[in-house]
Amino acid sequence: METDILPVDPNKLGRISVSQSHDALVDEWTMEYTAGKDLDSMLRAAQELATSDVPVAFPTETVYGLGADATRSSAVRAIFAAKGRPADNPLIIHVCSVAQLKALLRPAGTAQEDYDPIPEVYKPLIQRFWPGPLTIILPNPRSSALSPEVTAGLSTFGARMPRSILALALIQLAGVPLAAPSANASTRPSPTAAEHVKDDLGGRIHTIIDGGPCEVGVESTVVDGLSYPPTILRPGGITVEQLRKCPGWEDVLVGYNDSPEKGLRPKAPGMKYRHYSPNATVFLYEAGARVPEPESVLKLAKTHGSIGIIRTKRWPIALSLPIIRRTHEACQQPNMDSYPIPVHNGQTEHLKTSNILRSVIQHQAPYAEHLKVNDDLSRPVDVYDVGLGADVNAVAHGLFSALRELDKKGVGVIFVEGIDDKVGDDIAAAVMNRLRKAAEIRA
């Protein structure tokens, strides 16, 4: 099938209005849509989600998701088929409102006013972090509206409200909750741009909504508060320290490993299977490890013909290899703080309002500088160097994109400079968790 990338500008989609209430878990939002090609693209995608079994790829603040109607088995099965995803790997449900989530949690036939089905332990997290990169594990009710394929046979499911107005609007327009893992082929690096999705899933889906590069760059944090003490099942965009500041979460534990867990029946995506892996062999150097020796790097370069390097804090450009030509200067990644957040109700200081509207912020993807090196080799060797910088958020934002960029260059080996994840920074933990699962060799 033909796959179309449909660019959608959030600024041209419509005007957002936000209703704030001290009693609400999440501020309510509405969109006054503006006629035009951006809305037409969204309506096309929404109709496909509501009426067909072909998944649709769309941007969130974390990575691009591959969405399908979470209430129809045939649609959900199509996600697994498109990705080549193991059937025992559960999917995360994406909702556009707390009301939509409550409808999923109430047993069939239960009146709306009878009770609030959201467990109390999660309410402080929802109030603080939604919409945003946090997934909560919830009990799946009897006579659940969700497809059984979503839960992979578990009695629970994961849900989140994404901090992306494009994602929220798409769910609202489709009128159904979306089951949506990352929009990549299984085991590949997660996609942070529309072209990444097409690289993996071109010919398998019809529509990719292109909202530009993703803001966060790693998947959501997944937490389980249904038992005590609560547990982090997957690190991501919300940190341990942020969670511990919430009532009931002071003793939250880390419940994930950085290596795939064989024989595990996973409660959350990313716990069991090798993931985030490019085609090239990845050499991961932990923070503080020695810089790779140029001689050994050149030996591998001679074998493979080209290599990739991803630098963070200490490594020199091209690992101090003998550069004979630089084809162009590397692009600088923009500072997120330089982007204004457009607010239509004049309340820029309100955290949840800002989170909803932050989806309009766009970032450039990391850029691989092409260099030629030669040191008594029979021919010059291509080296592609990506400098992500020392800032952990910039590293998280650019990691998957950098791995994919180097894959496109056809490199056989990628050297990666790890970052320090022993300082209580959960974003750093998320980055290193992904890298350790991608790496074949660690130093």
Would you place residue 422 in the very low, low, confident or very high pLDDT band (cuts 50, 70, 90)? confident
Sign of CA dihedral 373, 419, 125, 242: negative
Asked whether residue 165 carries a pLDDT value surpassing 50, the answer given is yes
Give me the residue spans of the domains in the chain: 4-254, 281-330+367-442
Residue 329 has pLDDT above 60, yes or no: no
Tokens read off for 311:
């630098």
Per-residue pLDDT band for 11 (boundaries 50, 70, 90) equals: confident
Identify which of 347, 73, 356, 365 has the alpha carbon closest to the alpha carbon of residue 214: 365
pLDDT of 377 = 62
Instruction: Give the span between the Cα atoms of 196 and 111, in whole angstroms.
Output: 43
Q: Give percent of the chain with pLDDT exceeding 70.
A: 82
pLDDT tens digits, one per residue of 201-236 = 999 999 999 998 888 878 899 999 998 999 999 988
- The overall average pLDDT reported for the chain is 83
Superfamily name with CATH number, domain 281-330+367-442: Threonylcarbamoyl-AMP synthase, C-terminal domain (3.40.50.11030)
CATH number of 4-254: 3.90.870.10
Q: What is the pLDDT of residues 190-201, one digit of tens each?
A: 898 999 999 999
Does the structure show a pLDDT above 70 at 292? yes
pLDDT digits 0-9 by tens, 100-124: 999 999 876 666 666 789 999 999 9
- Per residue in 363-416, pLDDT tens? 445 678 888 887 666 678 889 999 988 888 888 878 888 888 888 888 989 999
Q: In what order do the strands lie in the sheet with 441-442?
A: 323-326, 369-373, 381-387, 306-311, 413-417, 281-285, 441-442
Query: Which pLDDT belongs to residue 335?
Result: 36
Higher pLDDT, 237 or 160: 160
**pLDDT over threshold 50, residue 138:** yes
**Half-sphere exposure at residue 363, Cβ-oriented, CA atoms within 13 angstroms:** 29
Please give the pLDDT value at position 181.
94
In order of 257, 270, 349, the CA distances from 260 in angstroms are 7, 8, 41
Higher-scoring residue by pLDDT: 321, 222:
222
Q: How far apart are the first and last CA of the chain?
A: 43
> Using 50, 70 and 90 to split pLDDT, how confident is the model at 262?
low
Counting Cα atoms < 13 Å in the Cβ hemisphere of 123 gives: 9
pTM of the model: 0.73
